[in-house]
Structures are given as structure tokens and as C-alpha cells.
Structure 1
């Protein structure tokens, strides 16, 4: 699908934030790891959460769902013996389930997206699983990956946090179910600590005990625990909403986004503060973020590690700010669906933005007068890139044509519908199947 994004003067209206992808995938997983039946209210529907639904079903969970909620009858520590799992293009789902698969005799995770997830490395988690007595067959740390488990062991386990926090989260989900007590030490640095906080929050809600050091680099986990079946409510999603809020921030707007909890543990909650620092007129009360955009923004310096999945949307807003903005501590963006620094900035330059990259920084020389646009650009199969490029297109002189825009469905299938409902000028062209 191509998205033809036209210059749009005004956005106005109210939308519900979509449900959090991160919380949905985690609640689905702990529902599956429980013995008994859990309910999840307002689960997200996106390619990632649907991949988790599909895989836990394959592993033996029984799922029933209506408009508002899902029930999950879990398999505990006894998943079904399956030969293959298809996680689609969902990196977090793959990584979480690699540890769960260690309870199975032999499972192969297939490679359906060789140009995206198929290029991402998982060596750090493979090393940890081997320490637990699990045999792993792989191609340079990449898919397809075969796990031969059955009896994973606890004990002393190390995991690198340099590339992704998902490797650590994966181990934290499974370690409480092992026969032995475990001690997990994170090596090097730990990316996206906030997201590890979400993992710990969800695990605790299921009645599991994990003792974490204050810096989240060390964990003591008693074995032989059981996830308790519970009722969970999924909160609104900040990473997806970041793009809507940024679009409102760069246009003349009066936009309300509902269901965004003020006390959320989602790191991307920080995008509200980032937009405020850029001079956007917004309020955040009673779980509603209300933006009155005036197109007048100012540059700033921001530590992107706190809001990893909101960085690209904020960079898009900074394209139109007065002055030079710097987003630092963002190297882990290079290891996502695409290299979100080099690839994204290449497309921004085509649109006429003035941007520079360092290994772990994005520098934006703002153009308050706008950018020319008028070009066709590539999304690199990446949902966050699509959302961010759309923001730039709305404020460009001649608009933008974004190729492969259907990949936005990975996390936010209703993204274009929501923008259209607010008055955005966007035309969606289904391309012919070849």
C-alpha cells in the first residue's frame, strides 16, 4: 500500500489511544504461563499481538475473545510439543518465546521476513539459554532458530543488555518456573530499563516474586513458582500515540487523545514532556492528552533511551522546530525492524530535512518554514518509520508518497484511520499484487 500524504493545515477531534502493544503481549504470555484461566480487557490488535496470540495457541493455550476482552486458559510450564512457530515480523514475541520454547523437546522458529526480523541478531539470548542447558541451532544468531530443550536449568545466568532489554525480559518470564532458584546478572549496559520495569510489573501482578537490584542489573528469582490466573486491563499505548501527538504538535490543531494514563510505566510517556519542552501547548489530565498545536516549535536536547519507541515521532516534530535538536543515547534504534537512524534519516533528507547522525545520536537542524517534500520515499518495512514520515508529510509543502505503508499494521493498524478522522489529507492506494 502507498500512503499519499498531502499538506494538512488543521487537525481536530478526539480519539481513543489504541491499547498498549507491550502490555498486551506480556499479559497474553503470562496468561499462557498460568495454570488456569485469566482475562485480559482491551487487548491490542496489531501484527505483534496477533503473532503472540497465534503462537501461544500453537503452544496449547485456549483463547476466546469478544469485542472487549479475551480469556486465556494457560499451559503453565507444559506447552504442547510443536515443531514450528511463526512469529511473523515480531522481534519481542520471538525473543520471549525462545525461552518458553526451552520447555519443548524441539521447536524451530521459521524465517518469514528475511529482510527485516531475519536480519536481527539474537546471540545474547542464545548464550543465556545455553547456560541453562538448552541446545540452540542458528545461523549467526539469526532465524531460523531451533531450540532443543525439555529441561531448562536455573542457577547463575548472565545476559548482555547491550542490544536489547528483550533478552532479559525473556529470561525473567521463564526463570520462576524452573526447578532451581536463579540468579541473573546483566552484563555491559542495559538498554530500555523502563521496558524491563513493565515486564517486572506484569510478572508481579501474576503473583510471582522476583528480587531486582535498584539499577535492574541483578536479579534473584526463587524457582518452582506458579503464575496465578488473574484479570488484567491493558492501558493505552504511548508509542503509537506519540505519532498522533507529534502530528497535532506540528499543525494547527485541537486534538484530544484518551486513555493515556498519567502514572503509566511506559517510558514513552516522556513524549508528553518532550513536546511540552518543544513549546507545544498541551495538558494531561484525567488520562486525556489535549494538544492545541500552533506550528511554532523550539529545539531541545533529549535522552532518547527513556522513550525509545517515541524517538522517531519526536525527531519528525523537531524537523520543524526553531534551532538544532539533539536526541542522544539512541544507538539501540539501529537494531530494530530497520536501522532507525541511518535508514530513517536517509528518507528525511529526501523530503528536504536537515539531519545528521552519530553512532548513538540524531541531530536535527530545524526548518520552521517547513520542508519541500514532493518525493516518493521508502518505509524500510518499519511501522515507526511510516508513522514518523507521515508527520513530516503533513507539514511539507508538496506532501510525500510513502511506499509499503501497510506495515504500519505491525503496531497500529488504525493509524491512518485515526489521522483521517482528525482531518488529515491522506490517500491510501492498494498496490496491485504481482
Structure 2
């Protein structure tokens, strides 16, 4: 399905932020790894979190869900032996479960998205799992991947952090269950350190002890631990809300987004600070962000490493700022559902934006008068690209057609419904 985004000068209204995808997937996993029953309030529903639901059920967890909560009885450290797992297009779910699959005899992760997740490399995690004595069959680090584990013992492990922090998170979920203590050393630079903070926060809530160095480059993990059944509440999602807030910033608006914790450990919380730096009128009080946009923005420079999933929305807003903006330290955007630098900037250019790419930077020459639009653009099956391109369409002179926009469901199925509720002119059409 494609979506037509028609220029919309004014947005107004109140929405509740989507529940966090990152926290939901982590809570689902630690609940499955506990022996006993856990309850998760306000879990996210998206393709990613639903992939985790499906896979932990396949591995032996039982789930009961109503509109408010999900109750999970876990399988502990003994997942059911299954032949195949299908994570869909969910990279984080794949990597977390590659670690847990090391506790099973033989599991194959199938390749159902050859043009997206099927192209992404997982070599760094494969190397780390092999250090634990796990056998891994793969196709140059890519899906399909077969893991033959059973009884990894622990010990000294190295893992590269230069492509993704998800490899490290996978090891942090696995190693507390092993029979020996483990020591994890992170090689090279660690991308998205703030997301490791989220993983450690969830592990601590689940009763797991991990000793981390201040820079998150070295970890000591006692073995023979057990995940505890707990009750969790999922906070609002900053990555998805970033696009809604950017849309409010580039239009004349009076938009309120509720359920966004002021003291959240989500790095994408930086969207609020960035919009403030761009001189967008807003307040953030009582876990509520209120934007009263006037369509006028100032250019900024921003280190995007800690806020990876909000950078594309920030770039969309910068397209209409006065001056030239620079987003740096963002090379890991290249290793997502698509190359979020080259692919995204190619579509922005089609829409009339003035942007430049470097290996680890995005340069945006703002056009306060707006961009031309009037073209059909390709979202590259990427939910973040879809959301950000929609922001650009709201401020274009002519409508934008975004191909395959239904892939927004990967993280934010209600995105277009929420924009419509605020007055945005967006409509679906058959591809």
C-alpha cells in the first residue's frame, strides 16, 4: 500500500505516545526467560514486538493478553527445541534470540525478508557465539542462520560494537544463564551506548546482576543466575514520537503528545532538546510534550549516535530550517533496514530537499520556503524512512506519494491514524 501525503499547513490535537518498542521487546524476552509468571502493562503492538511474542511462544512461553496487559509464563533457561524461528523483518529480535538459541540444540532462523533483514550482516555476534562453543551455520554472516548450541559454558568473550549494540545486548541476555561466569570485552567503538543502558535497566528489573564499566566497554557477568518473574510497565516511545513532534515543528501547530517520560533512558528523548535548539516553541512537563509550532526553525549541529532512531525525523525538520544543519557520528544508520543515509537522502533529493551525505554525516541545507514535492518516492521497506518522509510531505508544495508505506507497521502501526487525528492530510491508495 502507498500513501499520499498532501501539504498540511496546520496540525492540532492531543495523542498518547505509542508504547516503546525497545522496552516491550526486552520485557517480553526477560519474562520468557523467567520461571514463573510476569505481567507487562501497556506493551507495544508492532511487527517487531509481535515477532518477539510469536518467537517466545514457539520457544515454550505461554501468553495471555487483553487490552491493558500481557501475562507471560516463561520457560526459564530451557527453551523448547524448535526447528525454525521466523523473526520477520525484526533485526533486534533476531539478534537477541540468536543468543538465546545457544541454549537450544539446533534452531534455524529463516529468511523471509531477503531485500531488507536478509541483507543485514550478523558476523560480529556469530563470532562471539562461536567463542562460547556454539556452532553457527550462515551465508556470509546473513540469514538463514542455524545455531547449534545446547550447553555454552561462559568464559571470556569479545564482541565488536562498531556496527550495532544489539550484539552486546544479545550476550548480556544470555550469559547470566550460563554455568560459568563470563567476562565480555567490547572491541572498537560501541555504537548506541544509550540503548545498552536500556538493556541493563531491564535486566536489573528482572533480578539479574551485571557489573558494567562506566564506558560500557567491559562487563563481568556472574553465571548460574535466574531471571525473576516481575511486573513491568512500558513507557511511551520516543523514536516513533520523534516524527510526530517533527511534524508539529514544521507546521503551524498546537500539538500535545502524552506519556513521554522526562527522565527516560531512551536516547531519542533528545528530539525534545533538538527541537528546542531549533527554536521550536515547546514545553515538556508532567511527561507531556506540548508543541506550538510556527513553522520557523533554526539550523543545528547534532551528534546522532545516542539518538539513532530519531535522526531521520530531525533531518526532515532540518529540511525547512534557516541555515545548514549537520548530523554527525551517524554511520550506523547505514546498517539498518536500509542504508538510512544513502537511500533516505536519495528520496529527500527527489522531493526537492538539498542534502549531502558523508560516510558518517548528513548535511542539510534548509529551505524555509518548503520543498517542491509532487513526486513518488521509495521508502525502501523502512519504517523510520516512511515516517520521516511523511514529515517532509506535510511541508511540500505538492503532494508526495510514498511507496509501500504499510511497512510503517514494523514499529508504529497507528502512525497515519495519529497524524490524521491531528489534521494531517494523508490517504492510502493501492500500489
TM-score by length of 1: 0.99
| Aligned equivalents of 1:150, 1:427: Cα separation in 2 | 50
Map of 2:33 onto structure 1: 33
Matches within 5 A, 1:287-306: 287-306=287-306
CA-to-aligned-CA distance 1:212-267 (integer Å, 9 cap, x gap): 00000000000000000000000000000000000000000000000000000000
Map of 1:273 onto structure 2: 273
| Aligned equivalents of 1:78, 1:430: Cα separation in 2 | 45
| Aligned equivalents of 1:230, 1:240: Cα separation in 2 | 26
Map of 1:78 onto structure 2: 78
| Aligned equivalents of 1:284, 1:430: Cα separation in 2 | 39
| Aligned equivalents of 2:13, 2:188: Cα separation in 1 | 46
| Aligned equivalents of 1:351, 1:409: Cα separation in 2 | 23
Matches within 5 A, 1:410-421: 410-421=410-421
Map of 1:166 onto structure 2: 166
Q: Specify the SS of the correspondent of 1:136.
A: strand
CA-to-aligned-CA distance 1:118-174 (integer Å, 9 cap, x gap): 000000000000000000000000000000000112000000000000000000001
Map of 1:120 onto structure 2: 120
Map of 2:241 onto structure 1: 241
| Aligned equivalents of 1:282, 1:306: Cα separation in 2 | 22
| Aligned equivalents of 1:52, 1:40: Cα separation in 2 | 14
Deviation at 1:430, TM superposition (A): 3.1
Map of 2:91 onto structure 1: 91
Map of 1:362 onto structure 2: 362
| Aligned equivalents of 1:125, 1:40: Cα separation in 2 | 28
The answer to whether structure 1 residue 135 and structure 2 residue 132 are counterparts is no
CA-to-aligned-CA distance 1:166-187 (integer Å, 9 cap, x gap): 0000000010000000000000
CA-to-aligned-CA distance 1:13-56 (integer Å, 9 cap, x gap): 00000000000000000000001000000000000000000000
Map of 2:100 onto structure 1: 100
| Aligned equivalents of 1:245, 1:74: Cα separation in 2 | 37
| Aligned equivalents of 1:267, 1:153: Cα separation in 2 | 33
Matches within 5 A, 1:17-56: 17-56=17-56
Q: Specify the SS of the correspondent of 1:145.
A: strand
Map of 2:219 onto structure 1: 219
Ranges in structure 2 where 5+ consecutive residues have no aligned partner: none
CA-to-aligned-CA distance 1:63-87 (integer Å, 9 cap, x gap): 0000000000000110000000000
Map of 1:341 onto structure 2: 341
Matches within 5 A, 1:322-333: 322-333=322-333
Q: Specify the SS of the correspondent of 1:189.
A: coil
| Aligned equivalents of 1:365, 1:198: Cα separation in 2 | 34
Deviation at 1:306, TM superposition (A): 1.5
Map of 1:375 onto structure 2: 375
Deviation at 1:109, TM superposition (A): 0.1
Map of 1:309 onto structure 2: 309
| Aligned equivalents of 2:212, 2:238: Cα separation in 1 | 25
Map of 2:264 onto structure 1: 264
Q: Specify the SS of the correspondent of 1:257.
A: strand
CA-to-aligned-CA distance 1:320-362 (integer Å, 9 cap, x gap): 0000000000000000000000000000000000000000000
Map of 1:393 onto structure 2: 393
Paired positions, count: 431
| Aligned equivalents of 1:244, 1:123: Cα separation in 2 | 35
Ranges in structure 1 where 5+ consecutive residues have no aligned partner: none
Q: Specify the SS of the correspondent of 2:189.
A: strand
Map of 2:6 onto structure 1: 6
Map of 1:255 onto structure 2: 255
| Aligned equivalents of 1:426, 1:210: Cα separation in 2 | 46
Q: Specify the SS of the correspondent of 1:260.
A: coil
